[in-house]
Amino acid sequence: MPIILDHQLQEQIPHDSSTFPITFYCDELADLPNRAGPVHWHPYFEIATSQSSVLDFQVGQTHTILEPGDSIFINQNMLHGIRQLSGVKPDRFPNIVFSGTVVAPETSTIYRKYIRPILACNSLPFVVFRHDNDLWDEVRQWIRTTYFAMQEQPDCYEMTVQRSICCILETIFRNFDSLPKSNASRVQLNTQIRLQKMLSYIYENYAQRITLADIAGAAHISRSEAGRCFQSYLGCSPVEELIKYRLQTAKRLLHETTLTLQEISFACGFHSVNYFSRQFRKRYGYSPTNARIG
C-alpha cells in the first residue's frame, strides 16, 4: 500500500481503518525515486524496520542509520523521511502507522497514564531498537508479530496486534526515564512548523509558477529565513526542493500516463520542454524519453 499524504504532507490512515486505527505498509521503497521517501509527518506513531539494507532515517534534523534488523519508533508530528543507502534490491521496509487509540480510547485511564505522556514528550522524537541490543529482544519480536498479523490477517489478528502494540508501548513507558532525549528548542520547533507550511505550499502549487518569495510567504517569513529552514532540515534550497518534487512527479507521469513530454512538462510547472529535459537528465542521468522506454 503506498504512502497517502494529504495537502499538508500528513500521512493518512485510510478511512476504512478508522475503527481499527493502524495501517501496514511494505515494499514502498521499490516505487520511490532513488529509493528515497518524501519528508512528511502525521499525528500518529510509526514503527519501521530495515530488513536487508542500510537505511538513512531522518527524524527532524537528526539522521539515524538503521542496519538490517534495526527498528525505529517515531513519535507523532515529527517530520521524517527515509533513504536506502545500500543493497542491490529495494529493502522491503515493513512499517506500521497507528494511533494510540488502537490500545485504548483517549478517555481511558490507560491512554491518559501511559500513552499521552509519550505523545506529549517533545524531547522523545524517536527510539531505535538495535538488533544487537538484548534490551529490545522482546520489542523486536512484538514488532515482527505485528507485521505478520497485519499482513496475513489470520483469525483474531486485531487482538494479536493490539496486544503486541500494548507491550511495545509499555516497554517504552517503563524505560522512559532512561531513553536518550533530544530537547528541541523553541527555535527548532518553529523551524519545523515553518518548513511544514512551505512544503505544503510546494506540494499544492508545484504546477503553477512559484517564486522563492511565494514559498517564503506561505510561512510568513523572509526569503533568507526560508533558505535557512530548508538547509537545516533538507540540505537544499526551497527552489531545489521545488524542482526535485516537480521531477519526481514528472517521472511518475512518464510511467503511468501517455501524456506527451510537453503536456507533462507543463503539468509539472516547467514551461519549457528543453529546460524540463535538461533538469530531468541532470537529476536522473537519462532523458525523459528513455525513462518512458524503460
pLDDT digits (tens, 9 = 90+) for 131-173: 999 999 999 999 999 999 999 999 999 999 999 999 999 999 9
Give me the architecture of the 15-178 domain, per CATH.
Sandwich (2.60)
Residue type, 231: Q
pTM: 0.78
| 61 alpha carbon, distance to own chain's centre | 13
CA atoms within 13 A on the CB side of 153: 5
Rounded alpha-carbon distances, angstroms, from residue 233 to 220, 223, 227, 240: 18, 16, 10, 13
88: pLDDT confidence band, cut at 50, 70 and 90?
confident
10: pLDDT confidence band, cut at 50, 70 and 90?
very low
Helix axes 238-256, 186-205, angle to 10 degrees: 40
pLDDT digits (tens, 9 = 90+) for 238-251: 999 999 999 989 98
Fold of 186-293: Arc Repressor Mutant, subunit A (1.10.10)
196: pLDDT confidence band, cut at 50, 70 and 90?
confident
Mean pLDDT of the chain: 89
Give the domain ranges of the chain.
15-178, 186-293
Output 270 or 292, whichever has higher pLDDT: 270
User: What angle (nearest 5°) sits at the alpha carbon of residue 91, between those of residues 88 and 97?
Assistant: 165
pLDDT of res. 17: 56
| 26 alpha carbon, distance to own chain's centre | 13
CA dihedral sign of residues 103, 107, 109, 111: positive
Matching fold, domains 15-178 and 186-293: no
Contact 80, 73 (CB under 8 A): no
Does residue 219 carry a pLDDT above 60? yes
pLDDT of res. 132: 95
